[in-house]
Structure formats: structure tokens, C-alpha cells
Amino acid sequence: MNEKVISLINWIISHWEITTSIIVAITAVISFLYKWRKKWVANNHAELRANIFPQKPSRIIRIYNPSEAEATNIRVEGLEIDNIAVYPIDLPFPSLKSKARFDIKVSPFNSSPDYLKIKIIWDDKSGKNHEAFEVLQL
């Protein structure tokens, strides 16, 4: 083994208190950075979801924001399907605050598909054009 490596190992063993303190300090810094990043993501990155609710004879697609961050410029793709009537809604939706929602009313016809695949696109403080895909049973 290299003399420098052996010398380093001997120093670490003979100065175990210093070595332990350094390891504890590094662990604390890593833990702090992990918690800080997790909090930053929670405060800046929105997550949008969708559910569908029956309301005879139509359905309500509910777009909601379960995260702490605000979403802006919300777009929904996949609503342009034959045999499904979409009631007018102004999209892109300007913003959706934390725990907020908006609804899109749709009316499937008898010959419409059983499932509706939509893509939700939004911007937030962490970036632009985030996407979520949802498959909703009509």
C-alpha cells in the first residue's frame, strides 16, 4: 500500500475525535440541504391532478392543485374528441392557487369512448410546461 495512504489511515485512527466531528458536520450539512431542497420544491413546484364526477347527463372534470405552490397558465389537451361535447371554458386558465380547483363540464354521447385521456400543462415558479397525464373513465 502507498505510504501516504497508510499515513492518512494512521492519522485518522489517532485523531478519531476530529474525524468523528467532521463526519457529524458533513452529515448535518447534507441533512440540512436535503430538507431545504424538499421545502423549496414544495413551495415552488405545483402538481396538478384531475378527477371526473358524474352529473347526469353530463360529467364534471375537476382539475385541482393539491400542492403548496401556485400553478399558472394551465392548459388541458385531449378534450377535442368526437362524440364528447365540451362546454365552453376559457383556457388557458390563468392561475390555480394551492388547494384550489376548476371544473370543465363535458357531455359524452352514447358512441363516445369509455375513457378520456387528457394532458394537463402548467407553469410555476420552478419552471414552465410541466405535464401530467390522466386517464378518466367516462
Are 56 and 117 within one domain?
Answer: yes
Confidence of residue 72 (pLDDT cuts 50, 70, 90): very high
Q: Report whether 46 contacts 130 (CB < 8 A).
A: yes
d(CA 67, CA 74): 15
Q: Which domain holds residue 11?
A: 3-44
Q: Report whether 53 contacts 81 (CB < 8 A).
A: no
Q: Report whether 130 contacts 112 (CB < 8 A).
A: no
Residue 70: CATH number of its domain: 2.60.40.1230
Are 64 and 132 within one domain?
Answer: yes
Q: In this predicted structure, what is the pLDDT of residue 106?
A: 87
Average pLDDT of the chain is 88
Global pTM value: 0.71
The length of the chain in residues reads: 138
Are 60 and 124 within one domain?
Answer: yes
Q: Report whether 44 contacts 124 (CB < 8 A).
A: yes
Are 133 and 99 within one domain?
Answer: yes
